[in-house]
Every structure is written in C-alpha cells, then in structure tokens.
Amino acid sequence: MGKQINVALIGNPNTGKTSVFNQLTGLNQQVGNYPGITVEKKEGICKLPRGLKAHIIDLPGTYSLNASSLDENVVIDLLLNKNDKDFPDVAVVVSDAENLKRNLLLFTQIKDLEIPTILVINMADRMKRKGISLDIALLEEKLKTRIVLVSARKGTGIDDLKEQILNYQKISTEPCMHASGIDPEYFNLLRKTFPNQALYKLWLVITHDANFGNIDRGTLTKDANFNTKSVSDLKRLQQKETILRYKFINDLLKEALTIDLKNATDLRIKLDRLLTHKVWGYVIFSIIMLTIFQAIYDWSTIPMDFIDVTFASFSEWAKNALPTGPFSNLIAEGIIPGLGGIVIFIPQIAFLFLFISILEESGYMSRVVFLMDRIMRRYGLSGKSVVPLISGTACAIPAIMATRNIESWKERLITILVVPFTTCSARLPVYLIIIALVIPNETYFGLNLQGLTLMLLYLIGFGSALSAAWILDKILKLKCKSYFVIEMPSYKIPIFKNVALNVIEKTKAFVFGAGKIILAISVVLWVLGSYGPGENFNNAKEIVTLRNQSENISEAHLKEEIASFKLENSYIGIIGKGIEPAVVPLGYDWKIGIAIVSSFAAREVFVGTLATIYSVGSDEEETIKKRMAAETNPILGGPLFTFASGISLLLFYAFAMQCMSTLAIVKKETNTWKWPLLQLVIMSAFAYLVALIAFQVLK
C-alpha cells in the first residue's frame, strides 16, 4: 500500500461540490475549523481501488483565486503552501454542466499552479433535458486534464472519479493557458529571478497577503524590481487576467459546447416568477414555514413520549439496581435525568434540520434570501444579512461567522448584534417543554395551537432582530455603500444522502455539544442539591416528621416532604432562595431562577437543570413533564407553570442573551468586549422587562 493521497475538492458555490464530497466519503467525514480561524473545515476518507485511501478536504466555495473574503483566502493559502499537511497531491475542480463558462475560470487558475487537476462536470443527468452536449475529448485536449462526467444525485461517475484520483500522476501539470500574456516583461522578470518556482504562484503571492515555500511576500514587494507596480496597477492586471481567461474559455466552448434551446425547459423561470413574487412569494414562504412547525409537533410526539418514559424508567431502574450510596444517586438523580432533558428533543431538532436541509438542497433557500432583501434594506441591512439570520435558527455561532461575506462593516456589525434574537435550536428545548405545559394540545381548522405558538416565537425573534437593526441603523453613524449579489441555483430534487448526512451531522453536533455542558452542570447541580450546611439539612427527616406528627399523612407523602425540605436547605436551595426575590415578580420560583442562571452556559441547559433539580431525592417514576406540571407556586399557590408564567418564561428566553459561546464569538468577530457586553446587558434587561410585563398583565 502506498501513501494516502491528499485531494482538494474545489469549486464555485452551488456546483454540487458537497454532494460529490458526500458521495466520495459517505459517513467517513468530520467537521472542524481551520487552525487559528473560525472557517468551517470538512474532511473525510475515501476508499479507492486496490485498497488505497484518499484524504478529501472540501474547501470553501470560491468563484476565483482573486480572493475577497476569509473563506476564499483559505483556498489560496492551502494551494500555495506545500508544507501544509493537507497540501493536495491532486485538485478536483467541481463544475456545473449548466454554468461551465463561469466555472472554468477557477479551473484555469488552479491549472496554472501546476498541480495535477481533474475537472468534474456535475449534474450530467440534466444535460440532455437542458439540451447540452459536450465534446469531452476536445475539452480534455485543450484543458490538458482528465474530465469526469458525474451525477452526484444518481451516484454515476463516482467510480470513474476514484480511478482518476488513483492515477493522478498521469495527469499533465502543464497550464492550459499562460496568464503571463497580460504583462510579458513583468512576468519574464519573475521567471528569471525565481526560475524554480511556478510563475502563477509567484503572481498570487504578489497580489494576495500570502506566502509560500521560502519566498516571503514582504521580500517580493519590497524588492525594487517588483515594487514598480502600485496596488491599482496590480488590480488592473488582475482584470486583464480575467478577461484573457474568459477569452480562452469562450473560444474553447464555441467548439466544445452546444446548447439546443428547443430541449431546454422554462420551468425554472416560471417558478422564479412565482416564488420571488412581491406578494405570492411571501405567502408561499409563510405557508411553508407554518407547515414545517406543524409537522415538527405532530411527527415528533410519539418518539418524544417514548424517550421521556424510557429515561424515567431508566432512572428508577438505576436507583433499584445499583448499590445504595452517593455514586448511585448521582447516576440516577443527576446524570440520567440531565441527559434525558436533552435527548428528549432529538426528534424535534432532527425534524427542524431535515426541513432546513430540504429547503437548501432544493434551491429554494436562495430564493428566500433574494425575496427578503426587499425587507432587509428598510432596516439598514443587506440582503446578505438574511443568510446569517436564517442560519441563526440552527445556531447563532456559525450565523455570526457567516457575516464575513457582508462587505459593509456597518451592515456586518448590525447583523452580528441582532442575530442572537433569532430563535436558535438551543432555545427549542425550552420552548417545547414550556409550550407543552401551558398551551393546550388542541387543533382548530387543522392548525395545532402548540405548533402555532412555536411559529409565533420564531416570528417574534425575527421581528425583534429587524426592529433592533432599524434602531442600530439610526444610532450607528457609519457611512458605507454595499451591493447585494446572489446566485440563483437550479431547482433540484433534494438528494436523500445529502439531507440524511446533514441531519445526522447537525443533530449529533447539537446533542454532543450540549451533552458535555449538560453532563457537567448536572453533576454540579446534583452535588449542590444533595448536600447542604447546617442543622436543617442534616436533620431534615426529624424536623419534617415532627412537623407532621399531628397529621395523618402517608409514608410516600412524608418522603416527598422530606426530599423537598432537604432540597430547599441544600446549597442549591440557599442560592436559589437568594435570587428568588428577583424572579418572583416574573411568576417563577427559586428552582426556575437556578435554571435561568445555569442556562447562561447554554440555553438548552434550562430543561436539564430542572430535570436534575426535580429528580434529587425523588423516588417516584415520573417523567420530566409530569414533575414540572405538578410543581406549585410557593407565593401565589396553584400550579407553578400557568399560562401567565409560561408566556413570561417563553418571552424571557426569546429575548435574553443566554449563551456564553455567542458572547465569545461576538468578541472574536468584533475584536472588542464592548459589543458583546452591550448585547448581554441590553438583551437581558429587555428580556426581564418584557417577561415582567407579560406576567403582571396575564396573571
């Protein structure tokens, strides 16, 4: 067996690059960040013929090597740095049969780097329907490469691609055209000075903030021979290079590409007119979102109830099966209920990611972004702000990272500051459990009230983000111009494999990411709830027994009273009682107060915290939902979770900045603590005020 082959998967956005990556790697993939930066890195292992393996790295989508964003710089940095462990032995450029002209610009640039390069023409199954025919032999000859026709949807051509990767050393590294024609004298000087270096690599080092090999960009640009070009001169040469490349591509495609328009359909045009219509576009989007939230509730009820009952039984089994002692109590009352508080929401979170993946895969999400640009402009945002706001429904952290594509600093800053208002998946467990407790599970005109409430909370979050953006636009006096450009990909039937992998990956990230925090906090909370100072905690049994001596109560009721008394006098009870005066006006008790404070680590910890608190000292086999429903309000009497306190709690979480990780990423992206601290103070104060008003009005 030879060494593992490094493969860089490169392409324009919306060429199906991720689909090809999924076909090559399947479940043998992982997602992380590039060292030192917060750009997502996807890599995986592909099994090749003859028992060899390829390490596939899926690089961020880019239109050319003339980088203008952090994502695109990642591509250049890797392709120039031979010392990087991921430096490719072979580059695979993924193109789209319908947009070959635009895709070939990037291909010709990468070919100039003298790296063995394979051209993949994806969506080959659509060529006949679109009336497209290609002279593959001519294209291979002129581009000096090997071409593979692939349909990632149908899985065709993947074996051929693996074979070409395996035989990458047979592919010519000669450029298919020479960019030196834009300024022969300047490029000849480069060639003479560095005869052992690829000419186009030198050009990229000069025009970008990049280094490679033993050549430092600073040395090159300070050299009198190369310092004759100003920044504007270099920009003009880059433009000339692009024109030269497109001339080569146009001449080639005149011979190698034919399109029979009679066979092409105009269905996409008709759909675009409807889905981006200034009235019907919003109506259709609203119907789709309403359907999604209804389905989330209806489809997930059975698996959620099963998980809830299973964890309650598992906790009870652990109490009976394990030897009596603190460690057994920790497992039965701390770890199992804490994990149950997050696992119960896997079905609904998986369904949410399922629908979002389908909308993205089908090409509809790009239409939503285009549609919403009309609204965004009124609030001082760019149409590009919609991408972070929509992706914020999964998690605010990658959503804030996604603002890097917004050129205007003012629009980018406003987007960063308002993204946390959108309802992320971490809020979902809080919403779901509270809605289940205080909103009737009834249906009117085919619409479930709980599903409607959930959708309303999403709309409140989005509306709050827009309102905050409008206010910030008026307050922040930063003048700047921006332009909104978005590509409308072709409509596609979602590929099941892509959707499934996305749902598994996102749900797994949510569960394991939250699970670590839940587990740690559950252990801490159990310790704080199982131990306490002073006589009241140590002599709880005697005190409660003496207090109820005159009353004829059952042994089970007495045990419950002892457990409750111990909890109130434990460390967590003392802390909770200390903050109770601040939360009582909102309709909460000290237990909810503790859950709110602990959920600052991550919002979803709220449910796990309550699950742990309610389980400490409890011998009853009850589900989390039943225990929460049975809680009474110590101040007002009656159930703790009423319509008034439930709505108050929902609104508090709709507006509060309950996430340390989000604050950390805002600090990183803005390079100052000023903005995250302002976010924390203003959002928390606003959340408290709204929750207070809601409870006082509704009670």
Domains of the chain, earliest start first:
5-178+245-259 (3.40.50.300), 280-426+440-475 (no CATH), 496-698 (no CATH)
- Closest listed residue to residue 624, CA positions, set 316, 309, 296: 309
In terms of DSSP bridges, do strands 40-47 and 53-58 run parallel, antiparallel, or are they unpaired?
antiparallel
- Please give the helix or strand (H or E) that residue 108 lies within, else none: helix 100-112
For residue 54, the surrounding DSSP H or E stretch is: strand 53-58
* Per-residue model confidence as pLDDT tens digits over 171-204: 998 888 888 888 888 888 888 888 777 788 888 8
Q: How far apart are the first and last CA of the chain?
A: 73
**b/e map of 180-197 (b: 16 or more CB within 10 Å)?**
bebbeebbeebeeebeeb
- The pLDDT tens digits of the residues spanning 635-690 come to 667 788 889 999 999 999 999 987 777 787 788 778 788 998 999 999 999 999 99
d(CA 643, CA 434): 9
Cβ burial 453-465 (10 Å sphere, 16+ → b, else e): bbbebbebbbebb
305-318 exposure pattern, b = at least 16 Cβ within 10 A, e = fewer: eebbeebbebbbeb
Q: What is the pLDDT of residue 38?
A: 41
Q: How far apart are CA 396 and CA 402, in angstroms?
A: 10
E strands present in 435-555: 443-444, 447-448
Coil, strand or helix: which one is 9?
Answer: strand
Please identify which residue in the block is written with the tokens 């071409």: 147
Q: Taking the alpha carbons of 348, 353, 359, 362 in that order, is the dihedral positive or negative?
A: negative
CA atoms within 13 A on the CB side of 36: 2
3-state secondary structure of 178: coil
Tokens of 263: 């066979």
**C-alpha distance from residue 285 to each of 278, 289, 372, 452, 653 (Å):** 11, 6, 10, 15, 25
- C-alpha–C-alpha distance, residues 41 and 8, integer Å: 12
User: What pLDDT, on the 0 to 100 scale, is given for residue 36?
Assistant: 43
CA distance 474 to 697: 31
- 93-131 pLDDT, tens per residue? 999 888 888 899 999 999 998 899 999 998 887 787 777
Residue whose tokens read 């996102």: 506
**pLDDT for the residue 481:** 54
Sign of CA dihedral 196, 201, 205, 211: negative
Q: What confidence score (pLDDT) does residue 86 get?
A: 87
Give me the pLDDT at residue 1, please: 44
Strands 29-33 and 146-149: unpaired
C-alpha–C-alpha distance, residues 329 and 323, integer Å: 9
- Write the single-letter amino acid at 209: D
Token pair of 287 as six digits: 């119907």
By the 8 A CB rule, do 248 and 177 touch?
A: yes
The set of residues, in sequence order, having a beta carbon less than 8 Å from that of 323 and lying 6+ positions away, is none
DSSP 560: H
Distance (Å) of CA 238 to CA 112, 182, 234: 14, 9, 6
With beta carbons less than 8 A apart as the criterion, state whether 210 and 204 touch.
yes
What is the rounded CA–CA span in Å between residue 11 and residue 31? 18
Positions in the chain short of pLDDT 50: 1, 33-38, 224, 264
Bridge partners (DSSP) listed for residue 119: 93, 147
Phi first, then psi: give them for residue 684, nearest 5 degrees. -65, -45
Tokens of 395: 């998690």
Q: Do the Cβ atoms of 457 and 423 come closer than 8 Å?
A: yes
Give pLDDT, residue 565.
79
The one-letter code for the residue type at 341 is G
